[in-house]
Amino acid sequence: MRAILIDQVDDEYTVGLTDVDPAGLPNGDVTVDVEYSTLNYKDSLAITGASPVVRRFPMVPGIDFSGRVVESESEEFAAGDRVVLNGWGVGETHWGGYAEQARVESGWLVPLPSAFTTRQAMAIGTAGYTAMLSVLALEDHGIRPESGPVLVTGATGGVGSVAVALLAGLGYDVMAVTGKADEHGYLMELGAGEVVARAELSGPGRPLGKERWAAAVDTVGSHTLANVLASTVYGGTVAACGLAQGMDLPATVMPFILRGVTLVGIDSVNCPRARRLEAWNRLATDLDVGLLEAMSVEVTLGEVLDLAQRQLDGEIRGRTIVKVES
């Protein structure tokens, strides 16, 4: 089968598209014919070696995939079932979605809602699933459309694009942050009511700023997240799910102890299965699938290698669907 394979021998890190024997697939009770995967930020880190994402070699990257079951030892899945997988260390410690087949544990799989094709599932992918987890977290903390505006940082990225579309579809007033002046039209098409310049939030700021938004979905981290917290209204909530600017948080406790702001961490990798099912079921009802094409491009497995660095450099917007099947 065709696959992207990453290896490291001594200090030499290699990555390439090659032929792999399916007999080498790792252990698992379900085998899936992979139809589509995606290019996520973590995948790009793995492909370029910019961060130690891969922890076992050799490794097939690709932290998510969709496809059809071909063999199953699980009572929950049968041959022909359409499934989706996000996280669980796939593409990091267990062979992932950048191969024509994957063998995984049945507990890692989610039945694909009938509302989506396998291609649409990967137009959503881990990024969209993470965006939905973020929205669920805001709702869990009492944030509603009447609470006030919701800010989305890194809004032209994968998580950000889906978050804007989801929140707007649910009736929220969305403020979308971007440093790309030519993408304002794209964000408005997804439902943003206002576009905020990235420069307003990306530098060192004050411990507290003017109260501007009731909640936020932050994909960036570092100074941006610190500034987002500083301008969140009293009792507001911020869902943190990314580190595109950095993993540091140069903030103070002031937003928490003077304004009662809540910072919620979003983990998509080891999220319990019940929450995953909730997220995918909500995506099926709350996401306008008509917007998926506007935010997505499709590439082949071979093209992924050339796109990884461009994604890390912030040159790719929205979602990148990877067609894996021949």
Q: Where are the domains of the chain?
A: 2-112+295-323, 126-265
| Predicted model pTM | 0.94
36-45: average pLDDT: 94
Residue pair 251/229 in contact by the 8 Å Cβ criterion: yes
Closest CA to 298 of 113, 36, 86, 83: 36
pLDDT in tens, 155-175: 999 999 999 999 999 999 999
User: Which residues contact residue 139 at a Cβ distance below 8 angstroms, ignoring those fewer than 6 apart?
Assistant: none
Instruction: Tell me the pLDDT tens digit for each residue of 64-107.
Output: 999 999 999 999 999 999 999 999 999 999 999 999 999 999 99
Averaged pLDDT, 31-44: 95
Exposure class string for 193-217: b at 16+ Cβ within 10 A, else e: eebbebeebbeebeeebebbbbbbb
pLDDT bin (cut points 50, 70, 90) of residue 294 is: confident
Element (H, E) at 131: helix 118-140
- How many residues make up the chain in this entry? 326
CATH of domain 2-112+295-323: 3.90.180.10
Q: Give the integer Cα–Cα distance in Å for 162 and 19.
A: 34
- CATH class of domain segment(s) 126-265: alpha beta
| Percent above pLDDT 90 for the chain | 92
What residue type is 92 in one-letter code?
Answer: E
- Over residues 25-43, the mean pLDDT reads 96
DSSP class of residue 246 equals B
